[in-house]
Amino acid sequence: MLFRLALAEAALRWAPAPFADSELYEAYARRIYEGEPYRLGETAAIRTPGYPALIAGCWWIAGGQHLRAVLWAQALLGTVTCWFVLAIGRECERMGFPRGTALLALLVAALDPYAALLGAVELSETAFTMLLMATAWLAIRHLDRPSFLAGAAMGVLAGLATLVRPSVLLLTPLSASWFLGATHHRRASLTTLVGSLVGLLLTMAPWIVRNALVLGAWVPTTTNVGESLYDGVGPQATGASDMRFKVEADLAGMNELEQDRYWRDESIEAMRAEPLRVVSLSAIKLWRFWSPWPNAAQYQRPLPIVVGTLASVPIYGLALVGIWSQRRRWRLMALCLLPAVYFSLLHMVFVSSIRYRVPAMPLVDILAGAGAVVLYAAWFQAAGPRTTPVQEG
């Protein structure tokens, strides 16, 4: 907590240039804070309201539009995420992971420089990661004792996570499939799944109904999908985000739904026209997702590269050891790997960056913790005391 608060204060003093997403989140948050309709100009659903509502809530508590209130709240959320890492790690130990996994995973998660740095800027990763970990904790805790209420709580958390980061929506049915296959109580687990569906729908319903009333269309998340897809696969795509194509396009007279449809059609056409380029680009995006050091050109300096490498490569190696050593415990393997695999595949299509990897890392840290315990045990056993045979004279 103190580490993250110190980073927040450093960010306030350093005052780095705001991300484009940060400015958009703030603009929407200002509308909520001032009690105005949730729209910017002619756009009403470019961003889901989850993270802007968090910013507005921090402002309301602080009595003004203070960045410090948001960053301090994110320091708290990052600390809560670390607690969930510890709690999930202990559940994994109860189900067969080696003792010590939870504490080592907690240490790794607490010292993750990328998670800490993202908590010091106005981006949705910190809040989203906490919600994702809370959902995972409920899932593993109730794996062997399913109930409707537990499912409803998971659904509410999944809904809140979707309102913060819409790209997680397809992870929800995949997680439900994991839960159904992993539990030993198949019939009772159906009650949990029904509860999760109810919780998810109740949480998402106000936003979906609002969009239907305002836009006159079914928009479960945002009208930003088309341009985000084109950003990832259009002829100008490099793997990083570059939205200049929006400025160059002549879309005058189109509303946001028509623009969304236009960019989706253009994306599909681009993929059909150059499939090999899209495939090779997906490999670049996969590297960007798992890159040990920052991708941005301004951070291609010795210190960020060294720190990033030291903070990432050993964790990758330990996680691989953890996967191999615990491979028979497929229920836990699937839980820990599902977000990482899901977001890796998703961002092989959409633009990719380390920031999109961060929410999946706490569960990977648990695998790394297991791998570290296994390696330590193997080293201790190999380096243990040896007796010298006594020769008879």
Amino acid 393: pLDDT:
39
Query: What pLDDT, in 10s, does the model give residues 90-132?
Result: 999 999 999 999 999 999 999 999 999 899 899 999 999 999 9
Residue type, 45: A
Domain boundaries, the chain: 2-240+255-376
Confidence of residue 13 (pLDDT cuts 50, 70, 90): low
Torsion of CA 334, 336, 342, 344, to 10 degrees: -130
Least confident among 9-23, 143-157, 195-209, 237-251: 9-23
Confidence of residue 192 (pLDDT cuts 50, 70, 90): confident
**With pLDDT > 70 as the criterion, what percentage of the chain qualifies?**
93
Helices 225-233, 256-273: crossing angle, 10 deg rounding: 30
Is 226's pLDDT higher than 80?
yes
Q: Which two tokens stand for residue 359?
A: 């929410």
Amino acid 11: pLDDT:
57
Amino acid 8: pLDDT:
58
d(CA 9, CA 67): 10
Q: Are 106 and 97 in contact (CB under 8 A)?
A: no
Amino acid 1: pLDDT:
62
Is 392's pLDDT higher than 50?
no
Q: Where are the alpha helices (DSSP H) in 238-360?
A: 244-248, 256-273, 275-290, 302-325, 330-346, 354-357
Helices 101-110, 361-382: crossing angle, 10 deg rounding: 130
Identify the DSSP state of 168.
G
Q: Could you tell me how many residues make up the chain?
A: 393
Question: What is the average pLDDT value for the chain, to the nearest integer?
Answer: 91
Global pTM?
Answer: 0.93
